[in-house]
Copies of this chain bind each other. A is one copy, B any other.
């Protein structure tokens, strides 16, 4: 008897379950493991013995699960200690794995999950354990090193660009329009906000200004840019990453808290902060701010089919690599060609991913620091291609996950 286990960790994405389904298919094709278990709620749940058998799922259930957003096996924010600080949880985990005849462990996640894979892979080698540990990338933030991009990002970018097009039109209907601010996720990196450059009408970018954490935010320059643009076209569309900072590297929302410009107001995110900044500057009082929030990471109804397929292929490849005896790695995506778009899958040592961050390239930001170059657009475009065919029930998407009260 030889089994494997797959689990999910960290923040959800729209396509994270597709990686699980890709791995299930690889196991069917290669006939490698007797059972593929799903560990519920990541390492945290596995340590509690929360395992389900995914091999018994029907084809229909698998298809629904593939098109279900958000970690359908549940997730956790659990970071394993260093081995020298406590071997107990390592021992407990390996006991559970051994008791279930598990020969390979797959973890779908971001930096922290790859930290777990690196630690467990190292421990297995040191203790002579025959269990392979393999990471499958996942994050809407697109901030993992070495991989061209991460599954989950393309769908988030597509949702952001699509809703920018739509809200731009919504904010353009009156003779006297105002200023619209869209706030995206991305506390440390600007990939999500930068994907706004995809939104174009008549070949012109819809966003007049795009602000990322990677370039210092200058309040005076911002207000002067917005003022001038508002005079020119009587409306302005601004996209801003939640994590923009000033030249000292301080989050602009933190600067506001220190200076308390708006008198004890709980302003929420940076979009709302910029809104008050504009109103107070006297440019116009007609300012709206919209925070896309968690929709960015779960709106599979607006997912990219390329992204969904790549999540699947990354899961499929992970099982192939484990079959080849590899352990302690994360599957990465290499862009072999941009046009026609073509990728392949390769391995990166998991410890090189863990605790590292891939920032948005500042050479793809214009010199004014408020928009992007053609290179950025070329990078993003193929990632948002195609619409998945969701399975419907009563005209709405039919979803299946294993960790919510309605599942029982």
Contact = CB atoms under 8 A, between A and B. Distances in A.
A79 interface: no
B166 A406 contact: no
A185 interface: no
Contacts of A174: 41, 74-77
A127 interface: no
Contact of A405 (B198, B235, B263): B235
A69 B201 CA distance: 13
A384 B385 CA distance: 25
B161 A198 contact: no
Interface residues of A, number: 76
Contacts of A396: 158, 161-162, 165, 198-200, 384
A301 B401 contact: no
A68 interface: yes
A301 B302 contact: yes
A295 B397 contact: no
**Residue in A166, A202, A301, A404 whose Cβ sees the most chain B Cβ within 10 Å:** A166
A401 B169 contact: yes
Contact of A301 (B166, B173, B397): B166
A243 B300 CA distance: 29
Interface in A32-56: 41, 44-45
A386 interface: yes
Nearest to A68: B169
Contact of A297 (B170, B293, B297, B304): B170
Interface stretch (A265-273, A309-317, A356-364): A265-273
Nearest to A383: B395
Contact of A381 (B165, B268, B394): B394
A255 interface: no
Given A206-B406, A235-B405, A405-B233, A295 B167 contact: yes
A258 to B, nearest CB: 18
Given A41-B174, A161-B396, A173-B75, A166 B299 contact: yes
Contacts of A111: none
A295 B290 contact: yes
B70 A170 contact: yes
10 cross-chain pairs, A with B, having the tightest CB-CB distances, nearest first: A172-B404, A70-B169, A233-B405, A170-B298, A75-B173, A201-B406, A166-B298, A71-B173, A265-B266, A385-B395
5 contacts: A72-B169, A158-B396, A162-B397, A165-B396, A290-B294
